[in-house]
């Protein structure tokens, strides 16, 4: 990964970890750790992000971004990290990768093809990948544009984060 992209994406790849959840004033006097929930914590700041059921499987942003970038670097086509629809906060992220030289005519205009990669630590959504000529994606998941392909994986189902793009 080149230094410019690495610097641009460093804010997306902060370290996260699971921690035990303790219950104050637990009705069971000898048990103060619950096995039903886990805390998702931002490691570098020690900040609590969310409390999730124990079935939740943590998928760090790094584990979905780095395999995607490895595949993108193999392509002959130019691509850019597009900040117009990319964002990150402690609980969610969306990364837009645009291919400015690859366009799709949607009747009224040509739109550059893009990949949108989503992840969350608060249960608001699983790992998502959208590919197509996309004008907008609402926070509720509604897509405006031409969707060519999509991938979705819940955080309870496990993830084999590998992407194979056709070059």
Q: What is the pLDDT of residues 64-99, one digit of tens each?
A: 999 999 889 889 999 999 988 899 999 999 999 999
pTM value surpassing 0.85? no
Q: Is the pLDDT of residue 159 over 80?
A: no
Nearest-angstrom CA–CA distance, 95 and 52: 23
One domain for residues 68 and 118: yes
* Residue range 26-51, pLDDT digits in tens: 666 666 677 889 999 999 999 999 99
Q: Is the dihedral of CA 98, 102, 106, 107 positive or negative?
A: positive
One domain for residues 30 and 109: no
DSSP 159: -
At which residue do the structure tokens 């002959």 appear? 76
- In terms of residue numbers, what domain contains 39? 14-53
Q: Is the pLDDT of residue 164 over 60?
A: no
Q: Is the pLDDT of residue 25 over 80?
A: no
One domain for residues 146 and 112: yes
First to last CA, the chain: 18
One domain for residues 130 and 144: yes
| pLDDT for the residue numbered 93 | 96
Q: What is the DSSP string of 8-60?
A: HHGGG---EEEEEEE-TT-SSTT--EEEEEEEEEETTTTEEEEEEETT-----
One domain for residues 46 and 93: no
The number of beta carbons lying within 10 Å of the beta carbon of residue 18 is 14
One domain for residues 67 and 144: yes
At which residue do the structure tokens 């760090």 appear? 60
| Beta bridge partner(s), residue 146 | 133
């Amino acid at each position: 990964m080149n230094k410019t992209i690495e610097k641009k994406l460093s804010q997306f790849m902060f370290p996260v970890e699971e921690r035990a959840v303790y219950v104050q004033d637990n009705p069971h006097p000898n048990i103060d750790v619950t096995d039903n929930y886990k805390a998702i914590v931002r490691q570098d700041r020690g900040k609590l992000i969310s409390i999730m059921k124990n079935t939740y499987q943590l998928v760090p942003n790094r584990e979905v971004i780095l395999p995607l970038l490895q595949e993108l670097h193999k392509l002959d086509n130019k691509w850019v990290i597009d900040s117009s629809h990319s964002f990150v906060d402690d609980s969610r992220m969306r990364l837009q990768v645009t291919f400015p030289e690859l366009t799709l005519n949607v009747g009224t205009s040509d739109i550059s093809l893009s990949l949108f990669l989503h992840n969350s630590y608060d249960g608001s959504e699983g790992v998502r990948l959208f590919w197509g000529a996309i004008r907008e994606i609402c926070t509720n998941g509604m897509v405006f544009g031409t969707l060519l392909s999509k991938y979705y994986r819940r955080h309870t189902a496990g993830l084999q984060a590998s992407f194979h793009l056709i070059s």
